Amino acid sequence: MFAELIDKIIDEYKTDPRNKIFINEDVLLASAKEETGVDISVDQLRSAIKNFLSGEMEEDDYSIYDGAIYACAVASNNCFGNPEEHEDDDDYSVDYEIDWIENDDSSFCAEIRPA
């Protein structure tokens, strides 16, 4: 599920390149679930992001947050970088910045820009 969601974002970007990408909560949640191997709830994801923003992360928050921002790294590498040129480099990564947007319904969206 995550691969399909992130591929859609990457394809949309390549069709219409711009200076930032938005990763919605569905993609962040799918990424966190895939990376942790745990069935994470949307409330757990929101809590981890809120705790990150406040600087008060708890032990369980780290893996959830890291799993969620994996989507940001994949999108950044494929949209702002050139992964084809670095196929043999397992450490290839594009520097990026995340701004968290909290919507009126308490959902989160990651706004990603190259650093």
Q: pLDDT tens digits, residue range 20-63?
A: 999 999 999 999 999 999 999 999 999 999 999 999 999 999 99
For residue 5, name the pLDDT band (cuts at 50, 70, 90). very high
What tokens were used for 94?
Answer: 């594009």
Where in the sequence is the domain holding 10, given as residue range(s)? 2-114
Quick one: which of 95, 101, 87 has its CA closest to 114? Answer: 95
